Amino acid sequence: MKIRRLKWLGVFMMMLLFVLIGRLVDIQLWNTESFSKHQVNLIEASVKQRSQVLTVDDGRGKFYDRDGEPLTHEEKQVLVLFPFLKKMEWPADEVASILGIREDQLRQEILNQKKPFAFGGNQPLELNEYQSKAINNLKIPGVFAVKQKFNSQTMLAGQLLGLTVQYSSLPKERYPDLELLPDTRVGDKGLQRTFDEFLLSSGESKLVFHVDANGGPMFGVDVKYVEPANPLYPVKVITTLDKELQETAEKIVDNYQIKKGGLILLDIEKSEILASVSRPVLDKMQPNGSGAINHMFTQHVPGSVFKTIIAAAAIDYESAPPQRMFDCNQTIDGKEEKQRPLGMLNFQNSFSQSCNRAFAEVSQEIAKKDANFFETYADKLAITQYSGWQGNLYHSAFKQLYGEQSGTIWKDQAELKKDPKMIAKTAIGQLNVQVTPLAVANMMATIARGGEKQMVKAVKKVEFNNGTSAIDFPKKEIDQNTISPYTAMKLQELLRSVVNEPKGTGASLKDLPYTVAGKSGTAQINITEGKLNKWFAGYFPYENPKYALVAVNLDTTENTRGMVAVFAEMVKAIYTMNHENSSKEG
């Protein structure tokens, strides 16, 4: 019996030994790069145990403004210190002397560090060329001057550029053919999302320093610089934004305490976005909160801005000759106008003073001839189409702008176009009319260009890391269905009258350094709560159009200032910048 137990014990020990040997083989030979259900790379983990690493660049592509200025990051020459310095003697006094700081400042910052870091905390000290060279010439183990990329503390054009998240938080079917590590950053919204496949990291650039069991340097002063194998990456996405204009636009929007809304500025000739601000602010800690919506690309009730569409139809149908007068003491349904009685006005003054009655009458008359004229002229001025650049890239459909919506006139209630009352409400940009600020800005640009409809770009090109171009985005027309040059000219005159006429809704813009043409709009969106959308859309200079601008305050009240003031501030800021830049060049 005793012998049998010993045999079974021996068999058990042999089996246990085989299991342990098998496990060792599994770890050492078979699953070294994907150990356990967590897919741990044991080789990398082993290297990490005996290495101290500082990431200089995460390898993901970066965004730049039209002049090459970084938008989402900063590049600084910094002092990198490794934590093992606190365990060894090193000439801290010499380094401090080069930096112009006290030696104890240098030593103190190292004491609580466990990983390599850039000296200076959240705002690393930026070194000049002399300091960098002098420090590296000392050849001190664990002390290096390097150029490092940092994420910007402030988010410019947050909703337009978007955010990144770790790949592990997304459904894996997005990139089924790519082997991405769980901590790889991928685009979540904005241009980060639409250009994600170009921006994906092909490997980090980092400093690797090997240490012994005590955390000290193993190989003297040698540090290994590791960078992606492909020198073409990371790519640079050159946007159409002007960093200085973007910063100014954000300040203006915040100074006027716009809680929901913002502004968008276009370069008319190039059909490019120069600045785009949406509020609420995009919060990195709550990426799916209210700040995630780009209100410049989403539908909103436009109010009287939509009268520009009716004016285009009225010009073509000759429904508003100069001698025709409209009773602007009446509402759209013929009742007494108590809030804004304007008297008898011709069509131009009806446009400049925003008389609802005139546009209700004209629309009802045109609708008897063409029930679809709203859609026709909205299409001619691209106000209900997608404005953002789209086309084929590598034989696949591609859109630059994330989350852009098209506009709508009737929604799913086409039967309403037969009702004169509904026609009147639609004519003044109410009822079911919904458009995006981007589309309104593009409408103004189209009119300023004499009727030429173009797609709007947010990105000019994608460059490889060596400066060669990977993709260029050319100018593209939306389509050929547009207003005639004559209609565009008459619309230009009407838009100018809004500012030029003494009683025009934009008369306060008359004395700006640039001549302005435009249209105001106030839309009722909740009568019970007194909620309004306030707009001003236009272009400037009138004689030689360069900029189209839309400012909008959404879900606001009667007590808040109109958008004419915001529009004026932006115009003055642009003039000042252009004047200063001209002086510098001169």
The predicted pLDDT at position 221 comes to 44
The predicted pLDDT at position 47 comes to 46
Name the pLDDT band for 31 (thresholds 50, 70, 90).
Answer: low
Residue 287 CA to chain centroid, in angstroms?
14
400 close to 459: Cβ distance less than 8 angstroms:
yes
Which residues lie closer than 8 Å to 68 by C-beta, 6 or more apart? 238
Q: Positive or negative CA dihedral for 293, 298, 303, 306?
A: positive
pLDDT at 2 over 70: no
Closest CA to 554 of 578, 516, 523, 512: 523
The predicted pLDDT at position 116 comes to 84
The predicted pLDDT at position 59 comes to 78
State mean pLDDT over 354-365: 97
The predicted pLDDT at position 173 comes to 74
Each residue of 206-215: b (16+ CB within 10 Å) or e?
bbebebeeeb
Please tell me the distance from the alpha carbon of residue 318 to that of residue 221, in angstroms, as a whole number. Answer: 84
142 half-sphere exposure, CB direction, 13 A CA radius: 27
pLDDT at 40 over 60: no
The predicted pLDDT at position 218 comes to 52
pLDDT at 301 over 70: yes
Nearest-5° Cα angle at 310, 489 to 522: 105
Q: What does DSSP assign to residue 345?
A: E
State mean pLDDT over 400-416: 93
Q: What are the start-end ranges of the E strands in 457-516?
A: 459-463, 469-472
List C-alpha distances in Å: 162 to 17, 72, 115, 287, 401: 55, 10, 30, 9, 11
State mean pLDDT over 373-380: 97
Please tell me the distance from the alpha carbon of residue 459 to that of residue 93, in angstroms, as a whole number. Answer: 48
Average pLDDT, the chain: 88
The predicted pLDDT at position 270 comes to 98
Please tell me the distance from the alpha carbon of residue 86 to that of residue 130, in angstroms, as a whole number. Answer: 26
The predicted pLDDT at position 153 comes to 72
> Mind listing the pLDDT tens digit for each residue in 241-268?
999 999 999 999 999 999 999 999 999 9
* 469 burial via Cβ count (<10 Å: 0-12, 13-18, 19+): exposed
The predicted pLDDT at position 205 comes to 65
The predicted pLDDT at position 213 comes to 54
Please tell me the distance from the alpha carbon of residue 533 to that of residue 431, in angstroms, as a whole number. Answer: 13
Please tell me the distance from the alpha carbon of residue 545 to that of residue 441, in angstroms, as a whole number. Answer: 13
> Mind listing the pLDDT tens digit for each residue in 501-532?
999 999 999 999 999 999 999 999 998 899 99
Name the pLDDT band for 412 (thresholds 50, 70, 90).
Answer: confident
Determine which of 9-23, 219-233, 283-297, 398-412 has the lowest per-residue pLDDT on average: 219-233
Neighbours of 280 (CB within 10 A): 18
φ/ψ of residue 279, rounded to 5:
-125, 145
Each residue of 401-431: b (16+ CB within 10 Å) or e?
bbbbbebebbeeeeebbeeeebbbbbbbbbb
The predicted pLDDT at position 219 comes to 47
3-state secondary structure of 319: coil
> Mind listing the pLDDT tens digit for each residue in 536-580?
999 999 999 999 999 999 999 999 988 999 999 999 999 999 988
Please tell me the distance from the alpha carbon of residue 327 to that of residue 394, in angstroms, as a whole number. Answer: 58
The predicted pLDDT at position 308 comes to 98
The predicted pLDDT at position 45 comes to 46
Q: Positive or negative CA dihedral for 198, 68, 293, 551?
A: negative
The predicted pLDDT at position 344 comes to 97
514 close to 507: Cβ distance less than 8 angstroms:
no
Name the pLDDT band for 420 (thresholds 50, 70, 90).
Answer: very high
* 115 burial via Cβ count (<10 Å: 0-12, 13-18, 19+): exposed
Domain chopping of the chain, boundaries: 51-239, 243-585
**73 vs 296, which has greater pLDDT?**
296
CATH number 1.10.10.60 is the correct assignment for the domain at 243-585: no
3-state secondary structure of 53: strand
Q: Looking at the annotation, which residues are catalytic?
A: 304
The predicted pLDDT at position 225 comes to 57
Please tell me which of 32-46, 95-109, 297-311 the model is most confident about, judged by mean pLDDT. Answer: 297-311
363, containing H or E segment = helix 356-369
H-state helical runs in 100-211: 103-111, 129-138, 158-161, 190-194, 196-199
pLDDT at 44 over 60: no
State mean pLDDT over 175-179: 81
CATH of span 51-239 = 3.90.1310
State mean pLDDT over 576-586: 80
Q: Positive or negative CA dihedral for 141, 145, 147, 150?
A: positive
> Mind listing the pLDDT tens digit for each residue in 447-463?
999 999 999 999 999 99
The predicted pLDDT at position 137 comes to 93
3-state secondary structure of 563: helix
> Mind listing the pLDDT tens digit for each residue in 182-234?
888 889 899 999 999 998 877 766 666 666 555 555 544 455 656 666 677 78
Percent of the chain with pLDDT over 90: 63
* Two tokens, residue 159: 């909703």
Nearest-5° Cα angle at 324, 344 to 382: 100
The predicted pLDDT at position 346 comes to 97
